[in-house]
A and B are shown apart, each in its own frame.
Chain A
């Protein structure tokens, strides 16, 4: 059930990318897509009643959650940030060339 909700979240991002015509909205859709995939990865690593995967000096820790998805998501967050920064830069430069963020106005090339 939770997995499914996470994929619904994914599809909202997908919808944004496929349908919207504002460059910034497309970028927002892209980052929603990133969030949902990251969340999905962390969800798969969760263990019922688990603890954070960090050892403690005072008490013995059992039942840690899976640390691998967390490590992967850390990498994925950084990649998402990098792509987002580049996208914003290109969108800003496109705005400078065309004076708009509307994708239907920006259409010199045909598909």
Chain B
């Protein structure tokens, strides 16, 4: 398995180069889906590898890490890998039907796979500059994908996204440059050791670098003061890409990179955790308040992404094992239900030709699959008991109370209620109510799109299973351990090299 680790990057990259040469749409469908399916299997296999061998370090080019680049797979990496590859497989499945509406399908798949390469590479890498390069790869591919429809609004959203996102990348690069000057190394484990030796108390230089990273990754994750690009960019993209962007891209590029750098390299200081909590609550409330007034389905969903990211940050910012468990589990769950919701909105757009809730109505009979899956996802995102969203929110709220922050818990509950109200609006206007005459002849969407939605709905329904001890020890608990014992990251990596 260790030898197969480079395939996470090499396979999608090679397929992306190949797909671009294809003229035939069917062949492109087949190759892209095969590629994402193999990656899904590989990512599931990493669960067992990490369980059996602990943390895995792979030396690229056989150079010992401070000299060469390393890939590091630990619990957190595995959680993200599984999430990203699961969503990407389902998105590519969904694209078979959905992308028939656009031209240049092979190019779409090529860009899709390049974005996937960027995310996989960023998650797996153990080198700071390498992380920046993958950040840009995923970023550049997503700018092009947001503008894929070449309508005026899409181009505008893409330009705005591109400017803010490149700014974020510049901040990250400046941070890497200063950190290199300060520690003379680029390997994350090595930097962590050097920083720990240099000084116990954080000085101005380290603080400044930390702020640069926080701004860079915060822009990528669309945390509230840095959010203005998200509600434009995510709705503008084609539906499978919206699902990827909201479901995994902001998490891999923003949250994961931030957690990795702050917990494993700088060491999580109380100041940082406090900042995370406050940013989390701000995102949670502002996002949901902005969402309530929206009538465009995809825009509404995009605002909810900001709000749900707030929950993840709040959970992790508490710093307690329970809070981190809740935060990471919510990260996984949010990927599932938000992707499902974007698939639903894509299906509505595909069938009814509009994204405006006021123009829809009574689609329940015409589109039973979309209606049922949308109901599951809506209940899940609002935190209604049997679904996965409930468990993670419950954990976060309980952790807030345990950590003696009942105020935070109150805000989380308020946010959840507002979410529920806004999704009741979606269900009411889109599916129930008076059927409109214009939509009398509507048909359900193609089967590949239905399949993707049904699989995600089942995951949402059974998501709580992951909390059973057997599954929890495989997927969630190792990830939590990585964050709690962030200081041990460097010693473990170096012990594996010996």
Contacts and interface: CB of A to CB of B under 8 A. Distances in A.
Interface of A: 10, 14, 17, 23, 26, 30, 33-34, 37, 40-41, 44, 68-69, 72, 75-76, 79, 82-83, 86-87, 90-91, 93-94, 97-98, 106-109, 111
Contact of A83 (B133, B162, B228): B162
Interface stretch (B163-171, B218-226, B328-336): B163-171
B144 interface: yes
B261 interface: no
Question: Do most interface residues of chain A lie in helix, strand or loop, or is the interface mixed?
Answer: helix
A20 B170 CA distance: 18
Contacts of B133: 75, 79
B173 interface: yes
B173 A37 contact: yes
Given A40-B177, A44-B177, A106-B156, A30 B147 contact: no
Contact of B166 (A10, A41, A83, A94): A83
A82 B479 CA distance: 35
Contacts of A98: 152
B144 A86 contact: yes
Question: Do most interface residues of chain B lie in helix, strand or loop, or is the interface mixed?
Answer: helix
B219 to A, nearest CB: 12
A86 B143 contact: yes
Given A44-B181, A106-B156, A109-B157, A72 B129 contact: yes
Contacts of A34: 170
Contacts of B156: 94, 106-109
Contacts of A94: 152, 155-156, 159
Interface string B116-142: 000000000000010001001000100
Nearest to B186: A68
A37 B168 CA distance: 12
B186 to A, nearest CB: 7
Nearest to B159: A90
B159 A30 contact: no
Q: What class of interface size applies to chain B in its complex with A? A: 20 to 34
A108 B157 CA distance: 10
A75 B228 CA distance: 29
B163 A91 contact: no
A97 B155 contact: yes
A17 B180 CA distance: 26
Contacts of A90: 143, 147, 155, 158-159, 162
B221 to A, nearest CB: 18
A83 B140 contact: yes
Interface in B260-313: none
B136 A37 contact: no
B193 interface: no
Nearest to A93: B155
A109 B232 contact: yes
The 10 closest A-B pairs by CB, nearest first: A44-B181, A97-B152, A41-B177, A111-B228, A109-B232, A33-B170, A79-B136, A94-B155, A37-B173, A90-B159
